[in-house]
Amino acid sequence: MYQILTLFLFLLNLESLAKSFCIIENIKNFENQNINCLDKDLVFGYLNFNSKNSNLEYIEDKKKSLKIVKLYQKDINNFIDDLCYIDNNLRIKEIINFDKEKKIFKVVLIISCGIQK
């Protein structure tokens, strides 16, 4: 009985250590989305677009320590300034895949950060 109780308390403690997160499907209209996150929860914001080449132009933001895609600089900065803490958890990842049929590059930008409420 003691072992079962110990195991239960251990698993309960592990669950409390896990961070919750939110997903925002389109950072262009995040104001219109219902965001049910608590302060400092992780948030993942997505931006999907097509490009004719895989070499995107970037603007370096030294204050945020980020390279921001020039074409969507305003949308990305609005999202970060309105929702994110500027700390070591703030990151931008990109996934670029070539669509052979359409002969274009499909780009997914993922912004992750701690949400400030």
**What pLDDT tens digit does each residue of the chain (117 aa) get?**
444 444 444 444 444 445 688 899 999 987 756 777 888 899 999 999 999 999 999 999 999 999 999 999 999 999 999 999 999 999 999 999 999 999 999 999 999 999 887
Q: How far is CA 104 from CA 33, 69, 101, 111, in A?
A: 29, 17, 8, 22
Sign, CA torsion 83/50/66/57 = negative
- Report yes or no: 70 and 57 within 8 Å, Cβ to Cβ: yes
**What are the boundaries of each domain within the chain?**
19-114
